[in-house]
Structure 1
Amino acid sequence: MQIDPTALPEVLILTPRRFGDARGWFMETYNATRMAEAGIDIAWVQDNQSFSAAKGTLRGLHYQRPPHAQDKLVRCSRGAILDVAVDFRAGSPRFGKWVGVELSAENGRQLLVPKGFLHGFVTLTDDTEVQYKCSDVYAPDCDGAVRWDDPQIGVDWGIAAPVLSDKDRNAPLLAEAPRPFTWEGGK
C-alpha cells in the first residue's frame, strides 16, 4: 500500500496495490498489520456505504464530536467523488483549511480523515457508491455539520447547485459552529 501526505499532514491518501490478470483484478483495501506497521493503528468499529443516484450530490461537511468522534477511511467503489477534509481543530495553524482528493473505482485511492476534521464529498458521476470505515459508532446526539459553501473555508466543489439534504443546506457557518476539537500540537 502506498501512503501519501496531503497539504493537511494528518489527512492521508492510501493507494492499495492492485493485482490483475485476464479475469480482472484483486485489491486488499485494508490490512490491520500493514497499517500498524505504517503508523496507522486505528480500531475500526463500523462500516458505512452510501449510494448517490445523481452526479452533483453533495454530502457534508460533517463531523461527530466527542465522546463519539470518528476517524474515517473513505473509498469510492463505484463512480467517482471529490472527497474533502477540513481542519476543524480550534487553535490549529490550519484551522478552516481544506484538501480535496478525487477517489474513484478506477483509481482505488482511499482518504484517511482523522478525528477533528470535517468531511464531505460531491459525486462526479451518476450512480456513485462510497464506502467508509469509522473508528466509532454513529451517535445522533454527537452529529454535527458546517455549511458546504462557507466562504471562510472556500471549498472549490466544482459545482454551483448541488443536490443537498436539508441538514446540509441548513448547517451553520464555520464562525457559528461549536468548537468540539482542539489542536494538540504536533503535525
Structure 2
Amino acid sequence: MKIRSLSIEGAYEVTPQQHRDGRGTFLEWYRFDALAAAVGRPLDLAQANLSTSARGVVRGIHFADVPPGQAKYLTCVAGAVLDVVVDIRVGSPTYGAWEAVPLDDQDRRAVYLAEGLGHGFCALTENATVAYLCSSTYRPGHEHGIHPLDPELGLPWPAGVPELSAKDGAAPTLAQARAAGLLPHYDACSAYAEQGVRQRS
C-alpha cells in the first residue's frame, strides 16, 4: 500500500497493492495501521456509507461542523468517479484550493480527508458506486454544503451539465458560506486533530 499526501494538508491518496491471478483480484483497500502511520492518528470508524450514481451526477461539496467534523476514507468499488477535496478551512495556507483524484475499479485508489475539508465527486460511468468509511455519524443540522459549480472554486467537473440534487443546487458559494459563518476554521481543525493525538498517547 502506497500512501501519498496531497497538496492540501490532511488529504491523502492511497494506492493499494493488487494481487491478480486467473481467479480474480485480491487487495487490502484499507489498513488501520498504515493510514494511522501516514496521517499521525487513527481513523475512528463510526459509520459506513455506500452511494450509487448515474453518469454526470455530482455529489458535494459537503462538510461537517468541527468539532467533531467527519473524516472520510473512500474508494470507488464499481465504475469510476473524479473525486475532489476542497480546502474550506478559514485561515488555512491553502484555503480555496482543491485536488482532484480519479477513483475507479481498476486502480482501486482511495482518498482520505481529515475533518474540516470539503468533499465531492462526479460519476464518470453509469452506476458508479462509492464506499465511504466515516469517523462520525450523520448529524442533521451540522452538515453543510458548498455549491459544486461555484465559479470561485472552478472545480474540474468533466460532465457537460452536471446533475445535482436540489440540496446541492441550492447550496451557497464559498464566499457566501464564509460570510454566513458556516465554514470551519483551520486553527480549530488543527486543535481538534491534536487533541485526538494527545488522547491516544
TM-score (normalised: structure 1)? 0.93
Give the partner amino acid of 2:63: Y
The Cα shift of 1:35 comes to 2.5
Identify the residue that residue 49 of structure 1 maps to in structure 2: 50
Which deviations, in whole Å up to 9, do the C-alpha atoms of 1:7-60 show, x marking residues without a partner?
2232100111111211011111122223333334121111100011x2101100
- Residues 118-139 of structure 1, C-alpha deviation per residue, up to 9 Å, x if partnerless? 1000000011100010000011
Q: Provide the residue aligned with 1:156 in structure 2.
A: 156
> Does structure 2 retain, via aligned residues, the 8 Å contact 1:83–1:121?
yes
Alignment of 1:9-158 (within 5 A): 9-38=9-38, 39-52=40-53, 54-158=54-158
Match of 1:183 among 167, 183, 186: 186
Is the 1:88–1:179 contact (alpha carbons within 8 Å) kept by the matching residues of 2? no
Query: 1:114 corresponds to which letter in structure 2?
Result: A
Moved more, 158-167 or 28-37: 28-37
Shift of 1:104: 0.3
Report how far residue 140 of structure 1 moved: 1.2
C-alpha deviations, 1:61-87, integer Å up to 9, x for none?
Answer: 011113441000010000000000100
Separation of aligned partners in 2, 1:134 and 1:23: 31
- 2:159 maps to amino acid: I
SS of residue paired to 2:186: coil
Cα distance in 2 between the residues matched to 1:73 and 1:116: 14
In the TM superposition, structure 1's runs of 4+ consecutive aligned residues that sit over 6 Å from their partners are none
CA RMSD of aligned residues (A): 1.6
Please state whether the residue corresponding to 2:56 is helix, strand or coil. coil
CA contact (8 A) 2:79 2:104 kept: yes
**2:198 matched residue in structure 1:** none
| 136-145 or 9-18: bigger deviation | 9-18
Look up the equivalent residue of 2:59 and give its one-letter code.
Answer: R
Structure-2-length-normalised TM-score: 0.87
Aligned AA (1:50): S
Instruction: Please tell me the residue identity of whatever aligns with 1:182.
Output: H
3-state DSSP class of the match of 2:157?
Answer: coil
Q: Distance in 2 between matches of 1:34 and 1:74?
A: 15
